[in-house]
Each structure stands twice: as C-alpha cells, then as structure tokens.
Chains A and B, each alone.
Chain A
Amino acid sequence: MHLSPDDIIFWEYGFLKLNATIVFTWGLMCVLVIGSRAITRNLSIGLERARWQNLLEVVVLAIHNQIREVGLRQPRRYFAFLGTLFMFIVVATLFTVVPGYEPPTGSLSTTTALAICVFIAVPLYGIKEQGLGGYLRSYLEPTPIMLPFNVISEFSRTLALAIRLFGNIMSGTMILAILLTVTPFIFPVVMSALGLLTGMLQAYIFSILATVYIAAATSSFREDAEQDYDLDGPDDPEMKRPETR
C-alpha cells in the first residue's frame, strides 16, 4: 500500500529515478499529443467536420469562454498554460477507469509541480501586463498594511492548490483501493464514478483558480471582473470566493 505513485520506482540511479508518476505522465503526454495531432492533422474549416474535431472544438471553446468569463480580456494569451492545466488533470483523472493505472495527479510531487508553475506564472503574467512596478504595487492593494497578508496569501494559495488537488485525487484512489479489499463488487464502481466526478471537478477548480490568480495579477482585474460578474453572472459560486477552497 502506497500513498503516491512516486513510491513505485522502475529505475533509479542516484538522484535520478524513473517512478510511476513520471512514466504515467509521459504516457498521458503521448496520448494527448498524438491524439491532438491525429485529430488536428486534417482539420476542416467547413460546416462539416469530424466528430473528434467537433469534440476538441467544444472543449477548446469551453476553455476559451471560461477564461474570458473570469475576466481575462485576451484568453489566447493564457490559453496554452491554462488549457494544458485543465486538459492534463482531466485526462489524468479519466484514465483512472483503466485498471493498474495510477493517476500522476495523485502524487503530491505532480500537484506541487503544477502549483509551482502557477506560482511562477502568475507574477510573470502580471509583470508582463502591467510592468514590474505595477505588479508589485498590487501587493499594496487595498492598503499597504495588507502587504504581508498578500505575500502570505501568495504562498498559501499555492500550497492550497497543490494539497487540494493531491488530497482529492489521492483520497479517491485510496478509497477505491481500500474498498476493493472490503467490498469487491459494485461499490468500488460507484466510488470510481465518484472519483471521476471529483477529478473533473478538481480539474475545473484548479484551472479556474489559476485563471483567477492570473486575472488578479494582470491589469485592472477588479473593475473589469466585477463588471463581468455583474453582467454575466457567475457560473460557479466558487468563482466569487476562490479562497474558500
């Protein structure tokens, strides 16, 4: 019994090691890239298109619209990063239906890596949008007194991101493993379905939070975001209070 796929090590040489997390991640990467390549090789711009292309278009457009709804004016600038976060977590969760598969997101190392990526990407995008001064000034909002809390918030939310995703996916996998030993029939299937749902939800939450952080770091988020919320209405109550999770 292991908590993380990190513990399954196929090959190790000093600091270097090849564990199940990395291997499954590569596998997912291959599936994603090859699938995308296969589908997008013969893209149609006409009104008729392949079903797989239609599926990808739906997904891509959904991500695109979601990013814009959160308040980012130019979704394509952040699309690759946020979209890949979502796609990776979704696919990693989806493959849990395959026996013997260990989701890489069930490893704290993977979720930490993703959280670190967000942690680095947010200031990068912020600086890119409104300059270093402008970005740093956002730490003094609404008052300079809030500066330490803002800084703490920066770290704590990154930690929360990593732990939340890890905890959800790991717990799902763990519950499934435990239940398999207790009640081998039917109930694990239900729990597996629940795990799928949780994984999807976590994928959404993770990417949406990342989007919100980036939006907060980039220019004039507050006014625009508030306006957008007022106009369109929030799809998810979480989006109003991302910190609650």
Chain B
Amino acid sequence: MLIDWFTVIAQIVNFLILVWLLKRFLYQPILRALDAREKRIAAELAAADEKKREAEKERDEFRQKNDEFEQQRSVLLHTASEEAHAERQRLIAAARTDSDDLRAQREEALKREYQDLRAVLSRRIGAEVFAIARKVLADLANTTLEAHIADAFIKRLRALSPEEKVSLASITRLSAQPLPATPAMTAAAAAETAGILIRSAFDLPATQQNAIKAAINEILETRIPVRFEARPDLISGIELIANGHKVTWNIAGYLASLEEEIGKLLKNPAEPESKAEPEAQPEPGPGFPTEPEFGAEPQAEASVKEKNAGKKKPNTPDNPETLDTPNLKPPAHIR
C-alpha cells in the first residue's frame, strides 16, 4: 500500500501549519509592503502632479507678470523718451531764446556804444570844425567865425518872409507879456518867455550882440529885451528863442552829411538809418522860422547839437565842395 494514512494525516497537519506560518511570515508582510509601496508611489505621483500643477500655475503667473512688466517697461521707456525729447526741445528753445536775448543785448550794447561814440565824435568834430574854421577865418579873412555866424544869422532873420516876420513879431509880443504863458509849457520854457533869448555856442562879442539886437528890433519893429546866453554844447550856431519858438541858424546839414559818411565808414548800415530817423524829425520843422517845441526843447536842442556836431566835418577846408551840396541847405534854414 503506497498510502500511509498516518503520514497522510501528519502531512495534512504539516501543510496547515505551513499555510499558517507562511501566511504569517511571508504573504502578509510582502503584500503589506507592496501595498505600502504602491500607496507611497501613488502619493508621490500625486504630490508630483500637485507640484507640477503649482509649477505650471506659477509659471503662468510669472509669464503674465513678465508680460505686464514688459508692457510697463515699454510704456515707461516710451514716456521717458518722449519726455526727454520734449525736455530737449525745451532746452534748445530756452538756449535759443537765451542766445537771442544775449545777441539782442549785445546788439543793444553795440548800438548804444556806437551811439555814444557817434555822440562823442559829433561833439569833437563840431568843436574841431569850429576851431579850424575859426582859425582859417582869422588867418585868411582877418575876421572871426563868430562874426560870420552872427552875420549869417542876421541874414537869415532878414530873409524871413513877411508872414514869418509877422508871426514872429506876434510871438515876441506875447513873450513880452509873461502872463499868457500857456499852461502846457514847462518851467524852463516859461522862464524863457520873458523876452527873446539868443543862444549861441560861444560868447557873442558886443558888436555882434548889438548887430543882432538891431536886426531883431528892425525886423520886429519893437523893442523887446534880448538876452544872450552862451551854451557850449550848442555847437551848431545861433538860435533865437521866443515864447517857445525858435529861429535857428546852424550847420546841422553839414553835420548830417558828415555823419552819414562816418556811418558808411563804420559799415553799420542799420546805425546810420536809426540815426537818420531822429534827424528826420527835427528836419521837417526847420524850414519854418517859428515852430512850437514846448518843453521838449532842451532835448531837441541836444539832438540838433549832435547832428550839428556830426555835420561839421564836411565843412572842413579839406572838403570845401560839400559846402555846395544840397546839405548846405539845412544850414540856411532857420531851426
């Protein structure tokens, strides 16, 4: 018999024990470990997924932020460059205005300097001209410049037209009575209304004074007080002032032409023109023997003086021809 029943029973028991033991020591631990590992791997995968999601989210956020940053940056750059451009334009404009101002100032200064120079020059030339003329006359004609000027002035007075004479007479009469002084007159002018004032650049000798007085009295057919005054700055000649009106003989015309020549020499075309303007103003008036000048008179005198000073050069003996030029006419006029 191949089957031993005791062995069979023993083997059944053995087998059951082995089942229990292996279950206890092999299958359960192994399966538990497998489960744990699976769980762990699943958890790790889930964590990795979670991390990946977070990373993607952060990446998106960063990308978005980056885009925003880029946009902001470009906008800022744009505005900054625009501002810089505007600032540049503004600075350039400011620099231009500044330079314009500076140039204008410089031009102004130059102009002023030029004017001063011309004033000084005029005065010097006038004085020189007079000095030369006086010397020449004394040497050649055995007479004085003053006498000639006085003569010329007297001639001018005598050459007045009848209407002019009448108007001058009426004015001088008014001036004889100080009361009717017009309120518009300045104090200086008012002071001068008390009679006829003869102003000259030099002290007129007594003979000349008497001659002028006689001439005035003869022309005006009245006797009014005549005062004489020497004004060194009044280079040009002699003027008669009565009640704010003037009758002048001067050499303004000569001086004006001389001034023009000098201006050309200085090569400043703008200057002579601007100079010519103030000149033109007194000029229209001079034709008339009597011209109201009121309070502006001293200033007018100054301007006239300047011109006169400038005009004396053509009168120099070096350039006698100019005496015959049309510029000679103004001196003939009474200013």
Q: What is the interface of chain A, defined by CB distance below 8 A to chain B?
A: 3-4, 6, 15-17, 19, 21-22, 25-26, 29, 32-33, 36-37, 40, 43-47, 53, 56-57, 60-61, 64, 76, 79-81, 83-84, 87-88, 104, 107-110, 112-114, 116-117, 166
Contact = CB atoms under 8 A, between A and B. Distances in A.
Contacts of B17: 29
B7 A40 contact: no
Interface string B211-230: 00000000000000000000
A36 B27 CA distance: 9
A33 B22 contact: yes
B2 interface: yes
B55 interface: no
A112 B14 contact: no
Contacts of A108: 2-3
22 contacts: A15-B6, A21-B7, A33-B18, A40-B30, A40-B33, A47-B41, A53-B30, A53-B33, A57-B30, A60-B31, A80-B19, A84-B19, A84-B23, A87-B26, A107-B4, A107-B7, A109-B3, A109-B5, A113-B8, A113-B14, A114-B11, A166-B2
A172 B170 CA distance: 178
A43 B29 contact: yes
Given A6-B7, A36-B25, A112-B3, A29 B30 contact: no
A26 B17 CA distance: 10
Contact of A83 (B15, B27, B36, B40): B27
Nearest to A162: B3
A40 B41 CA distance: 20
A43 B29 CA distance: 8
A33 B7 contact: no
B34 A57 contact: yes
Nearest to B38: A45
B4 A80 contact: no
Given A84-B18, A88-B15, A40 B26 contact: yes
Given A33-B22, A88-B15, A109 B4 contact: yes
Contacts of B6: 15-17
Nearest to B11: A113
A36 B17 CA distance: 15
A166 B7 CA distance: 14
Contacts, number: 126
Nearest to B9: A113
A212 B8 CA distance: 24
A84 B2 contact: no
B31 A76 contact: yes
- Which of A84, A112, A116 has the most chain B CB within a 10 Å cutoff? A84
Nearest to A15: B6
A35 B206 CA distance: 165
Contact of A33 (B2, B15, B21, B32): B21
Contacts of B9: 113
Contacts of B12: 113, 116-117
- Which of B23, B29, B32 has the most chain A CB within a 10 Å cutoff? B29
A29 B14 contact: yes
A53 B36 CA distance: 14
Given A19-B4, A84-B19, A88-B15, A46 B27 contact: no
A43 B8 CA distance: 36
Contacts of B14: 22, 25-26, 29, 113
Contacts of B33: 40, 43-45, 53, 57
Contacts of B29: 40, 43
B95 interface: no
Contacts of A37: 25
A11 to B, nearest CB: 12
Contact of B30 (A4, A15, A60): A60
B22 A84 contact: yes
Contacts of B32: 43
A113 B18 CA distance: 13
Contacts of A64: 31
